[in-house]
Amino acid sequence: MAEMSVQLVAVERRLWSGTATFVVAQTTEGEIGIMPGHEPVLGQLVEGGVVTVRTTDGGTVTAAVHGGFLSVTGDTVSILAESADLADEIDVAEARAELERGDDENTRTRALARLRAAGQPD
């Protein structure tokens, strides 16, 4: 099975790194799927996007990401987010409350991304 090295990093910490068979991310040019051997590419991540990594052990890592970049070189994918939240660390009740009281568009966008990453309907 072909695999690639993936790093998911936010400014404040490394969220996940390991090997994967597939990565999906939302960029300003649209959603992109990356498989091992993909041509080199650099993309700007959207504010309030979701990144999904299918790991080589059959698991899935999902994160809400807020800005940053996606870099693909050879068999390496680096997701460098301004900030990010792993799906299993998201407090769904808190994200829903942020969405409801959202004082500005940025707060609502981040709350929606967190809900989508956690598998919750909008």
Give the pLDDT band of residue 122 (cuts 50, 70, 90).
low
Quote the pTM value.
0.92
Q: In which residue are the tokens 């800005």 written?
A: 67
| Span 71-110, pLDDT tens digits | 999 899 999 999 999 999 999 999 999 999 878 888 899 9
Top CATH class, 4-86: mainly beta
What six digits make up the tokens of 23? 């990565």
| CATH 2.60.15.10 intervals, the chain | 4-86
Using one digit for the tens of pLDDT, what is the confidence trace for 28-69? 999 999 999 999 999 999 999 999 999 999 999 999 999 999
Q: Please give the angle made by the CA atoms of 88, 6 and 57, to the nearest 5 degrees.
A: 65
